[in-house]
Amino acid sequence: MEKIEFVFDTQMLVEGEGIPADEIREHLEQTPPGDSLLVVGDEELLRIHFHTNEPWEVMKYLSQFGTIYDVVIENMQKQSEVFGKQ
């Protein structure tokens, strides 16, 4: 079974006022380590999609910009192992 470098598929919405999408994108490109980053939306509502091994760091960082909801954190390594056996 192939080992996945960034295990957690991390998705969430952030709702607030004056959310700096470009600043968030630049920050998440640097830390925590990850890939497949998407930051989509406007100053009031952003959707974040990110593969990382530290989803709690993403949530902690984003919490300063507003309310976080519709959080989905999936362990892609575990999914690969379970569905690879079928």
Successive 10-residue mean pLDDT values, the chain, 86 residues: 89 98 97 97 98 98 98 93 71
CA separation for the pair 11, 32 (Å, rounded): 14
pLDDT for the residue 80: 82
Coil, strand or helix at 81: helix
Cβ count within 10 A of residue 22: 8
